[in-house]
Amino acid sequence: MTRVYVQTFGCQMNVADSNGLAHAAWSMGCSFVTDPAQADIMLLNTCAIREKAETRVYGRLGQLKTVKDGNPGAKLLVCGCLAEKDRAVMLRKAPWVDALLGPRDYGRFKQVLSEWGVASDEPPPDAVFSLPSAEDDPGESAHAEFAHLRALVNITRGCEKFCTYCIVPYTRGPLESIDPEVIEAQIQHELRCGAREIMLLGQNVNSYHDEATGLDFAGLLVRLGAIGGLDRLTFLTSHPKDFNRDVVDALATLPNAAPRMHLPMQAGSDRVLAAMARLYTIEEYLEKVAYFRERLPGWALTTDIIVGYPTETEADFLETLAVVERGTFESAFIFAYSPRAGTPAATMSPQVPKEEKIRRLQAVNAAQNDATRRFHESFIGERVRVLAQGPSKKDPTRMAGKTGHNITVVYPLDDRTAHAPFADIVAEQAFNWGLAGRVA
């Protein structure tokens, strides 16, 4: 039986793709291993969003060369955005890689496996499909017992917004919306496998549009929200240009929508937003946020921010900082701009010096940490419902899980909680990273 090792870098989209690839391998009779030295095929699903992501992938490829040297029959397959972006250079930089498949090439995956001698067309007997580790750090992967509680379901693929800093439209190609019946069938399948939370995925879910029925994202939410037995429905990512009141209104009618929204702002300066080709002003962005706050009080708003975009001045940066300091977001992912070859911003000048980008990053991070901690503190003494992730990685004598707001909660591991998908917890302590509490 062919043994496959899978390691995933990057976003949830890659995690979902890895699941799909692993399922295809399983359906051809492969099994999975967590140690690459035991594998016949090593699959790395890679990310190219920032330079750091690339550096990590090349570092890992170096380690896997040593593994391959010890097991010369093994094959190394590189998938994902870096496989697409570095198609021309990877085989020179890492000639021990056997094949590359970009995100639009996954239709060829089974063919590659059969060329490598994966002969069977039957899943392994008596085996239920379960991927041991789709996550970045194989040693610290999600606990198998709890991994199926959350399922990722693609609703769109690709992106054609071409924000000037972003490599994704080049690696993942133009937008495609998935047939609502296919989406529904996958959700039903995940629910039968025990999922309690469904996360709808797309680079820009708000541009969902089904040609055949005219269904848009708001309509899709209403349709999917009616599926019985679904505890939590959530989605990632929205583009503020396409995010509209209909989506907020649809969310307000859903009993099972998780109370959180991710709406990447990227910058607080109109000049920078225009340079990024984001297609909205900060005033328009904040208007949408105001409607969201009015209709969905108590929800958590999260965002992505880039500091040090080329030409960003101190005054531009201070506008971004001011939005964060006002406590606009419950949480934020803040990035230093990283030039991506082939995107318009990479050749824009002047580029912001590295030290300056780091200074700006730290300042926005500090402001956001204060806001995030205040948000967490607001739960002290409250009862929160937590979807379990399994024993805490930092302290395996306790359980960890997530609230509907997506706050990490650590709680006692005992007879009541050790195997329970949900736990009701009273929050007792607040930290930057989340909450700790006792069983209610």
Smallest gap from residue 370 Cβ to ligand 5AD (A):
21
Residues 163-222 that bind ligand SF4 (CB under 6 A): 163, 166, 168-169, 203-204
Residues 292 and 287: their CA atoms lie apart, in Å, by 9
Binding mask 236-275 for ligand SF4 (x = CB under 6 A): ---x------------------------------------
**Shortest Cβ distance from residue 167 to ligand SF4 (Å)?**
8
Report the 10 Å Cβ neighbour count for 32.
21
Can you give the C-alpha Rg of the chain in angstroms?
22
Q: From 277, 429, 269, select the one nearest 364 (Cα to Cα).
A: 269
Residue in the shown chain whose Cβ atom is closest to ligand 5AD: 304
Which residues make up the interface to ligand 5AD (CB under 6 A)?
A: 49-50, 165-166, 264, 266, 304, 306, 335, 337-338, 340
Using CB distances below 5 to 8 A depending on partner kind, what does residue 161 bind out of ligand SF4, ligand 5AD, none? Answer: ligand SF4
Residue number with CB closer to ligand 5AD (166 or 233): 166
Report whether 251 contacts 213 (CB < 8 A).
no
What span, in angstroms and rounded, lies between the C-alpha atoms of 354 and 15? 30
When CB distances are held under 5 to 8 angstroms depending on the partner's kind, the choice from ligand 5AD, ligand SF4, none that residue 340 binds is ligand 5AD
**Per-residue b or e along 304-314, where b marks 16 or more CB atoms closer than 10 Å to that residue's CB:** ebbbbbbebee
d(CA 386, CA 335): 29
Of 276 and 409, the one with the shorter C-beta distance to ligand 5AD is 276
Q: Which does 239 bind (CB under 5 to 8 A by kind): ligand SF4, ligand 5AD, none?
A: ligand SF4
267 binds, among ligand SF4, ligand 5AD, none (CB under 5 to 8 A by kind): none
Which CB, 50 or 402, lies closer to ligand SF4?
Answer: 50
What DSSP line would sit under 201-256, residue for residue?
Answer: E-TTGGG-B-TTT--BHHHHHHHHHTSTT--EEEEE---TTT--HHHHHHHHH-TT
The listed partner (ligand SF4, ligand 5AD, none) that binds 288, CB under 5 to 8 Å by sort, is none
- Please work out the total of residues on this chain that contact ligand SF4, with binding judged by CB under 6 A: 10
In 3D space, the residue among 118, 105, 141 whose CA is nearest the CA of residue 4 turns out to be 118
Q: In this complex, which beta carbon is closest to ligand 5AD, that of residue 180 or of residue 264?
A: 264
CA 62, chain centre distance (Å):
25
Q: Which of ligand SF4, ligand 5AD, none is residue 306 near (CB under 5 to 8 Å by kind)? A: ligand 5AD
Phi/psi of residue 285, nearest 5 degrees: -60, -50
CB distance 257 to 217 below 8 Å: no
* Using rule CB under 6 A, residue 162 touches ligand SF4: yes
* Cβ 121 to ligand SF4 shortest distance, Å: 36
**Peptide linkage before 259 cis (omega within 30 of 0):** no
Give the span between the Cα atoms of 27 and 38, in whole angstroms: 20
Cα-flanking dihedrals φ and ψ of residue 390, to 5°? Answer: 115, 180
Partners of 287 in beta bridges: none
> Which of the choices ligand 5AD, ligand SF4, none does residue 162 contact, using the CB cut-off of 5 to 8 A by kind?
ligand SF4
Smallest distance, Å, CB 48 to ligand SF4?
Answer: 11
For residue 161, which amino acid is it? K
Site stretch for ligand SF4 (CB under 6 A), options 58-66, 160-168, 267-275, 398-406: 160-168
Q: Smallest distance from the beta carbon of 262 to ligand SF4, in angstroms? A: 11
CA distance 30 to 39: 10
Paired strand residues for 385: 424
* Cβ at position 166, least distance to ligand 5AD in Å: 4
**Which range touches ligand SF4 (CB under 6 A), out of 154-162, 242-250, 280-288, 375-383?**
154-162
Residues forming contacts to ligand SF4 in the complex (CB under 6 A) are: 159, 161-163, 166, 168-169, 203-204, 239
